[in-house]
Amino acid sequence: MHITSIIADALINTTDLSGSLGLIATVILTCNMVLGMMLSTSFKKTNWGLKLPEKIKSLDIYNLHNYTAYIALFFVLAHVILIPLDASNKFTYLDILWPANAPHQSNIVFLGTFSFLALITVIITTQKVVKQKLRFSLWKKIHLISYATCMLFVAHGILMDPLLKDRPTDWIDAEKLISELCGLVLLIAFILRYKYYIYTTRKS
């Protein structure tokens, strides 16, 4: 009975655990996006990059960018897999892949589903075998999906009730504040990236 009770409690808590894993994925995806923008702007060669401590400058941003993408994907997959294990929330895997009839907040679930599929698409097309078969212009356009992917995932995390009880968003909840901070970091990074693009375009 004791083992059965432990297993039952674990299954009941899968919804809560899934939300925590989704939050971790949001933070990692945010870091991944910032690293990607650092790579695209050759950050290490800029004035800010040259002023960084040697230990930080020695970090391999390219590998960090790749590894964080895989780690984020792992947490997103775990986040998705755990949801239907709690029967009380009435979710099925089909509801996650096609959330039109999802039992809770179907529109917000759609944001998560789209960002999940977009993340997989970006990772697949980044593989050397696939990348070599794509034109660079096409690969770059596909890779730009990651900008929308991350923001949609952040929006999904902010608006979705982590307990799947259709409660309104508590904007000052600790978990929501983390997602909101990630959104703010991304917004600032996007603005700086756009300014860099304008600067280099005018310079050329």
Q: What is the count of structural domains for the chain?
A: 1
Does 51 map to a domain?
Answer: yes
Does 124 map to a domain?
Answer: no
- Using one digit for the tens of pLDDT, what is the confidence trace for 34-69? 998 888 887 777 777 676 777 777 778 888 988 999
Question: In angstroms, rounded to a whole number, what is the distance separating the alpha carbons of residues 8 and 182?
Answer: 34
Torsion over CA: 141, 200, 68, 135 (sign) = positive
CA angle, 102 then 91 then 109, to 5°: 45
Does 123 map to a domain?
Answer: no
Does 137 map to a domain?
Answer: no
Does 23 map to a domain?
Answer: yes
Would you state the pLDDT for residue 193? 85
Does 133 map to a domain?
Answer: no
Does 181 map to a domain?
Answer: yes
Query: The domain containing residue 81 runs over which residues?
Result: 2-117+149-203
Name residue, tokens 């239907």. 84
- Using one digit for the tens of pLDDT, what is the confidence trace for 85-132? 888 889 999 999 999 999 999 999 999 999 999 999 989 988 888 888
Does 6 map to a domain?
Answer: yes
Rounded mean pLDDT of 196-201? 81
